[in-house]
């Protein structure tokens, strides 16, 4: 079905991880869909999309349990990402939240543990907890999510803050604000960005410009949206798909090479930012 291997990106610590993974928000909310969702995640792993993104927030822990089910006999194949909620992100709260996530995930370690978004607890405290969790082998890397440039600057100013492995943010054709400042800021520091909601939760899939390019390549609109992100070699992309068909389609987006004309047409339909905008989040 697809000729290309999954491309990888290097984390600041040197480890390489796949640039196309799988999201899990809104999974495990309906018992009738659970089997298909678990199968979809496993199909994605079979296809090399071994980075799985989840969070304690998703389904109030149920998404982590679904991931546990999907990876039970193949934990070592997977690069597991989970997140602590801001309200739990005090020093002791982060450690306790991580322990709960590990239990639900049925594993002894999370590969990348993110602060889901900024909260009241001091960043220093969350960072101290992350560092302690790395020391205890309970997480392998840590990072942040929904951090705008001022948050990243603040983090960079804290001792140890430069160990951040990624910033997971909203980024897709309809949400290009980070291209103005946050993305260049991250690139200067060789910090990979993880793009969430890469197809805008499906809302962008009725666009004439996307349809035209998809038609030209015999691809789908979702594939064009994903290929547009994947062409940038420091972006990690984590579409959520709850059917094997969507997973296979998303994997095959790696085979779609957009031409300069396609990219120009996409820039006309979804213009890049010309001034700073606050980071958007979903
Ligand atoms: P998304 O991946 O942009 O879109 C998911 C939606 O697109 C689902 O309805 C899915 O349908 C559909 N879809 C997937 N593949 C498709 C295809 N090939 N063709 C047509 N439709 C397709 O949105 P998202 O779930 O918000 O974002 C992805 C992941 O990022 C999340 O699951 C989560 O892990 C993470 N995230 C993080 C944050 C954060 O604050 N850090 C926020 C949002 C999301 P089916 O389910 O029916 O396949």
pLDDT in tens, 124-169: 999 999 999 999 999 999 999 999 999 999 999 999 999 999 999 9
Rounded distance from Cα 24 to ligand 1 centre (Å): 7
Mutate to test the pocket of ligand 1, among 2, 22, 113, 197 (most ligand atoms within 8 A of CB): 197
Query: DSSP class of residue 200?
Result: G
For the chain, domains (ranges, CATH) are 16-269 (3.20.20.100)
User: φ, ψ for residue 143 (rounded to 5)?
Assistant: -160, -170
Euclidean distance between CA atoms 186 and 127, whole angstroms: 19
Ligand 1 atom with the smallest distance to the CA of 25 is 32
CA-CA distance, 69 to 83, in Å (whole number)?
18
User: What pLDDT is recorded for position 5?
Assistant: 84
Q: Is the CB–ligand 1 distance for residue 196 below 6 Å?
A: yes
58 is catalytic: yes
Cβ–ligand 1 distance for 202 under 6 Å, the answer: yes
For atom 6 of ligand 1, the residue with the nearest CA is: 201
- Contact (CB, 8 A) for 251 and 44: yes
**Tens of pLDDT, residues 98-116:** 999 999 999 999 999 999 9
Q: What radius of gyration, in Å, describes the C-alpha atoms of the chain?
A: 18
Cα of 197 vs centre of ligand 1, distance in Å, is 5
Chain position carrying tokens 């958007």: 280
Which pTM does this prediction carry? 0.98
Residue 72 CA to residue 96 CA, distance in Å, equals: 23
């Amino acid at each position: 079905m697809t000729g290309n291997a999954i491309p990888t990106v290097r984390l600041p610590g040197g480890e390489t991880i796949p640039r196309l993974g799988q999201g899990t928000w809104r999974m495990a909310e309906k018992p009738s869909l659970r089997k298909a969702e678990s199968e979809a995640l496993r199909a994605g792993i079979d296809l090399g999309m071994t980075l799985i993104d989840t969070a304690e927030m998703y389904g109030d822990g149920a998404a982590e349990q679904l991931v546990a089910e999907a990876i039970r006999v193949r934990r070592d194949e997977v690069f597991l990402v989970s997140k602590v909620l801001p309200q739990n992100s005090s020093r002791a709260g982060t450690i306790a939240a991580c322990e709960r996530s590990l239990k639900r995930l049925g594993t002894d370690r999370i590969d990348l543990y993110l602060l889901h978004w900024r909260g009241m607890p001091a960043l220093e405290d969350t960072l101290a907890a992350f560092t302690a969790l790395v020391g205890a082998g309970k997480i392998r890397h840590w990072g942040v999510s929904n951090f705008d440039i001022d948050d990243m600057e603040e983090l960079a100013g804290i001792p140890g803050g430069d160990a951040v492995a990624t910033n997971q943010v909203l980024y897709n054709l309809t949400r290009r604000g980070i291209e103005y400042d946050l993305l260049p800021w991250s690139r200067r520091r060789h910090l990979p960005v993880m793009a969430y909601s890469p197809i805008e939760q499906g809302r962008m899939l009725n666009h004439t410009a996307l349809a035209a390019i998809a038609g030209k390549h015999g691809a789908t609109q979702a594939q064009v949206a994903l290929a547009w992100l994947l062409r940038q070699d420091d972006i990690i992309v984590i579409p959520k798909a709850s059917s094997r068909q969507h997973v296979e389609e998303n994997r095959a987006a790696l085979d779609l090479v957009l031409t300069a004309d396609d990219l120009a047409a996409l820039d006309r339909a979804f213009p890049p930012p010309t001034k700073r905008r606050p980071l958007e989040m979903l």
